[in-house]
A and B are shown apart, each in its own frame.
Chain A
Amino acid sequence: MNPSTQQTPSQRPFPRREILLFGGLALVVLAVFASMGPAYATRMMVEAACYAILALGLTIQWGYAGQFNAGIMGFVALGGFSATFFSIPVNHAFWASDLPGRLGWVLLAIVAAVALVLAVSRIDRLGVPRWLRTLITVIVALIAYLVVISWLRSVTGDIESQVEFIGGLGLPVWLGWIVGGVLAGGIGYVIGHICLGLRSDYLVIATLGIAEIIKAFLKNSDWLTRGTATISPLPWPVPDPGEVGFVTARALYFCVTAVLIAVIFFLLHRAYHAPWGRMIRAIRDNEVSAAAMGKSINRRRQEIFVFGCILMGLGGAVLTSFTGIFDPQGYLPLNHTFLVLVMVILGGPGNNLGTLFGAVLVYVIWIMSGPLALALMHLVTALGGDWFGWQPGNLDSRALQARVFVIGLLILLVLRFAPRGMIPERVAQHD
């Protein structure tokens, strides 16, 4: 994984490989249009476009800077929640009751508790010994936590029993998309702040953990998200299928995502070829010499990690709005983390065009592999039943597991045989 060693000529060669690959991809997409019908194919294309945003987020983290984020699912779920919360209609029963006031007081109490604990943690400046300060801080924090959490439990319990959940804000959905990106970026900032100074393995563990925690929170906070009861339908920023029909509505949604991708792509392209991009690559390829040149390594890493997380939050918000249902249990590491990883490493980490190619190609394969895996599974069980008397139940879920295996194998094969992807990163040389 050392792209800078490749000797590229100073003038840009004719992009034959790109044209061939994208031509082939267009043929594949056309084949899907022809065989599955336009409604199905447009849905697939919109989802592929949403995944492309996620993949662009990962490509700047992994491809530009060599940071591996294994918690894309968490940022996707966060973005999805934000899109949901902003766009669904207001729950008037909640706002008419005394519950918003009580919830507000609890939120104020949380702020006060945090302020109290922070204040107590500074009392060593008044001459209290440090060990005593630590002890007092821990005890105060524990008591404050228990008090606040019991108030919160009672309020949220009342919300669930009286008005089911707090509802949304009834605002335009694009506001939720932006806030989703900001929220994801904020979480990314905290995680990056803790882990980026250490070796990248820690980042993998921490992101893996935060993703599961975000999912657990969204799944169990019934007062906020209705939990497993799910929220649907989510409004779209374009006319929905009921008004203009499936194909037109999905095509309009695709236009929105295409504009988003074009903007992101343009900004990333400019950033990559700017001095900032060169600095990021220098840090990735040789940290020591970049530091010797006076570059602030941790700050640059932090920037790029937060940018990546913002894109993931945004992509997750767009994807969830399109799906039309907010189901915290529907966010799976396989679908929302590892699929994106395969897209990036197969397409070409660090190459935006390659990432787009990888995103569309892998998503088409992924979608079409469902029926294929099921057919294969039927064949295997028929043979297995004849030869060994093996008769497994629920074929559908097992067929899905076969796809898990294939994704894992694909990751290993790409790392082994094409570590730089189908369209490798192209580093411009300025002689």
Chain B
Amino acid sequence: MNELIYFFNYVVVAGSVTGCIYAMGAIGVTLIYSILRFAHFAHADMMTLGAFVVLLLTLAFPHAGDALGLPTAIVMLPLAMIFTSLVAVGIDRVFYQPLRAHGVKPIVMVIASLGVTLMLQGLIRLFSGTGAESLYVEARKAIFRIELPGVTRPIIITEPQVILFVVTLVAVIGLHLFLTRARLGKAMRAMSDNPDLARASGINTKLIITLTWIIAGSLATLAGTLLSLDVAFKPDLSFFLLLPIFAAAIVGGVGHPYGAIAGGFLVGFAETLAVFNWSVLLRPLRDSLPSWLELPNNLALVGTEYKIVVPFFILIAVLIWRPTGLFKGKVI
């Protein structure tokens, strides 16, 4: 049983955590793609920016969360979401909109978003330095240990992980209700299906674009902050997020929010399973194995240093066999 608990702690929990983060990032990427028709490479840096704003706010008011019994970073989330959304809308107005008005090819927009990536990275590192910092400024991370009868090893889950699961659930359900029930949400889907028709039928496309950036910015802040809360804030967070997020969006089918969620979890679990050392699970069987079959100590598919390879190969596999993604999205 101990081995199963180990598996649960290191695969099910860890995989869900990465899955939630990737899913929220991929929803943003996929929404921006379906409204604006380009792959927004600065998205991972918007996540970093959101987390960085939360870090600054937490440093400024370290005890703001005590009254509510939540980590201060969570209390500061709404403010940071507003700020990041404003920055996202501002970036769109200053940099993307003129290019759109010129009618450039989508690939030029992609290059522009790479430029934005560099600007955001430069700014964040200029102010934060390059080291890692914990979002728990003057508090400690609560760790829950759930003891099961008959097992020595407890199930371990931390406070930020619980918050992450709750927030992801709320965000996904909220987004679903928004897209299917609200007038603006329906307008957004209409614009994603056919922008010209949407414009002709009187939908305010400018408003929809602004709204898209607000949603994407808020989700990016949520994902970035919760990830930093779980581990630590690193200015180079975006490097490790960019490829998995795009892999998730493409696996799920580009322009398909529900597909993005599925893709996020798929990529998250694939990463975790690939670096998991399977020989741990086989250890109880060791005594009953025939003598010629010796178990190696390391049965992980790839070493942790090659984690980045996993989303890449998922991406390649999907591009070869099913370029539309699992949920029949658009082909970029």
Contacting pair B125 A398 (CB below 8 A): yes
Least CB separation from A70: chain B residue: B114
Out of A153, A209, A220, which one reaches B315, CB within 8 Å?
Answer: A209
Q: Which residues of B contact A392 (CB under 8 A)?
A: 127, 129
B308 contacts the other chain (CB 8 A): yes
Out of A198, A200, A394, A411, which one reaches B114, CB within 8 Å?
Answer: A411
Contacting pair A408 B110 (CB below 8 A): no
Task: State which residues 199-245 of A face B: CB under 8 Å.
Answer: 199-202, 204-206, 208-210, 212-213, 216-217, 219-220
Contacts A334-B118, A402-B122, A405-B123; A204 near B39 (Cβ below 8 A)? yes
Least CB separation from B239: chain A residue: A212
Contacts A66-B107, A199-B331, A206-B315; A393 near B129 (Cβ below 8 A)? yes
Task: State which residues 87-135 of B face A: CB under 8 Å.
Answer: 95, 98-99, 102, 104-108, 110-112, 114-123, 125-127, 129-130
Q: Which residues of B contact A199 (CB under 8 A)?
A: 106, 331-332
B253 contacts the other chain (CB 8 A): no
Q: Which residues of A contact B298 (CB under 8 A)?
A: 150, 153
Q: Is the interface of B mostly helix, strand, loop or mixed?
A: helix
A1 contacts the other chain (CB 8 A): yes
Contacting pair A398 B112 (CB below 8 A): no
Nearest chain A CB to B31's CB is how many angstroms away? 15
Contacting pair A408 B119 (CB below 8 A): yes
Contacts A204-B39, A220-B303, A398-B125; A412 near B107 (Cβ below 8 A)? no
B320 contacts the other chain (CB 8 A): yes
Distance A225 CA – B116 CA, assembled complex (angstroms): 34
Among B111, B242, B323, max chain A CB count under 10 A is at B111
Out of B106, B112, B120, which one reaches A201, CB within 8 Å?
Answer: B106
Q: Which residues of A contact B119 (CB under 8 A)?
A: 404-405, 408-409, 412
Least CB separation from B278: chain A residue: A146
Among A195, A199, A216, A334, max chain B CB count under 10 A is at A199
Contacting pair B118 A405 (CB below 8 A): yes
Q: Which residues of A contact B120 (CB under 8 A)?
A: 408
Count how many chain B residues have C-beta atoms less than 8 Å from C-beta atoms of the other chain: 54
Contacting pair A415 B114 (CB below 8 A): no
Nearest chain A CB to B80's CB is how many angstroms away? 21
Contacts A194-B316, A404-B122; A205 near B246 (Cβ below 8 A)? yes
Task: State which residues 297-326 of A face B: CB under 8 Å.
Answer: none
Contacting pair B331 A201 (CB below 8 A): no
Nearest chain B CB to A364's CB is how many angstroms away? 20
Contacting pair A401 B125 (CB below 8 A): yes
Contacting pair B112 A198 (CB below 8 A): no
Contacting pair B303 A213 (CB below 8 A): no
B6 contacts the other chain (CB 8 A): no
Nearest chain A CB to B321's CB is how many angstroms away? 11
Distance A407 CA – B309 CA, assembled complex (angstroms): 28
A119 contacts the other chain (CB 8 A): no
Distance A199 CA – B95 CA, assembled complex (angstroms): 22
Least CB separation from B107: chain A residue: A200
B299 contacts the other chain (CB 8 A): yes
Out of A195, A334, A406, which one reaches B319, CB within 8 Å?
Answer: A195
Q: Which residues of A contact B129 (CB under 8 A)?
A: 392-394, 397-398
Distance A401 CA – B127 CA, assembled complex (angstroms): 9
A419 contacts the other chain (CB 8 A): yes
Contacting pair A213 B309 (CB below 8 A): yes
Distance A141 CA – B123 CA, assembled complex (angstroms): 46
Contacting pair A216 B308 (CB below 8 A): yes
Task: State which residues 297-318 of B face A: CB under 8 Å.
Answer: 298-299, 301, 303, 305-306, 308-309, 311-312, 315-316
Q: Which residues of B contact A404 (CB under 8 A)?
A: 118-119, 121-122, 125
Q: Which residues of B contact A338 (CB under 8 A)?
A: 114, 118
Nearest chain A CB to B27's CB is how many angstroms away? 17
Least CB separation from B39: chain A residue: A201
Contacting pair A408 B125 (CB below 8 A): no
Q: Which residues of A contact B202 (CB under 8 A)?
A: none
Mark each residue of chain B from 119 to 155: 1 if its CB lies under 8 Å from any CB of chain A, else 0. Answer: 1111101110110000000000000000000000000
Nearest chain B CB to A207's CB is how many angstroms away? 11
Q: Which residues of B contact A398 (CB under 8 A)?
A: 125-126, 129
Distance A229 CA – B110 CA, assembled complex (angstroms): 36
Count how many chain A residues have C-beta atoms less than 8 Å from C-beta atoms of the other chain: 51
Least CB separation from A394: chain B residue: B129
Out of A146, A153, A408, which one reaches B117, CB within 8 Å?
Answer: A408
Q: Which residues of B contact A415 (CB under 8 A)?
A: 99, 104, 108, 111-112, 115
Mark each residue of chain B from 239 to 250: 1 if its CB lies under 8 Å from any CB of chain A, else 0. Answer: 100110011001
A341 contacts the other chain (CB 8 A): yes
Q: Which residues of B contact A334 (CB under 8 A)?
A: 118
Contacting pair B122 A401 (CB below 8 A): yes
Distance A210 CA – B104 CA, assembled complex (angstroms): 27
Task: State which residues 214-238 of B face A: CB under 8 Å.
Answer: none
Nearest chain A CB to B175's CB is how many angstroms away? 23
Contacting pair B118 A150 (CB below 8 A): no
Least CB separation from B98: chain A residue: A416
Q: Which residues of A contact B115 (CB under 8 A)?
A: 408-412, 415
Contacts A205-B246, A209-B311, A416-B98; A220 near B306 (Cβ below 8 A)? yes
A403 contacts the other chain (CB 8 A): yes
Q: Which residues of B contact A217 (CB under 8 A)?
A: 306
Task: State which residues 156-193 of A face B: CB under 8 Å.
Answer: none
Task: State which residues 42-91 of A face B: CB under 8 Å.
Answer: 66, 68, 70
Query: Can you give 14 A-B contacts (C-beta < 8 A)?
Result: A1-B104, A66-B107, A70-B114, A202-B250, A202-B332, A206-B319, A216-B305, A393-B129, A401-B130, A405-B118, A412-B112, A412-B115, A415-B112, A416-B99
Residues of B within 8 A of A (CB): 38-39, 41, 95, 98-99, 102, 104-108, 110-112, 114-123, 125-127, 129-130, 239, 242-243, 246-247, 250, 296, 298-299, 301, 303, 305-306, 308-309, 311-312, 315-316, 319-320, 323, 331-332
Residues of A within 8 A of B (CB): 1, 66, 68, 70, 145-146, 150, 153, 194-195, 198-202, 204-206, 208-210, 212-213, 216-217, 219-220, 334, 338, 341, 345, 392-394, 397-398, 401-412, 415-416, 419
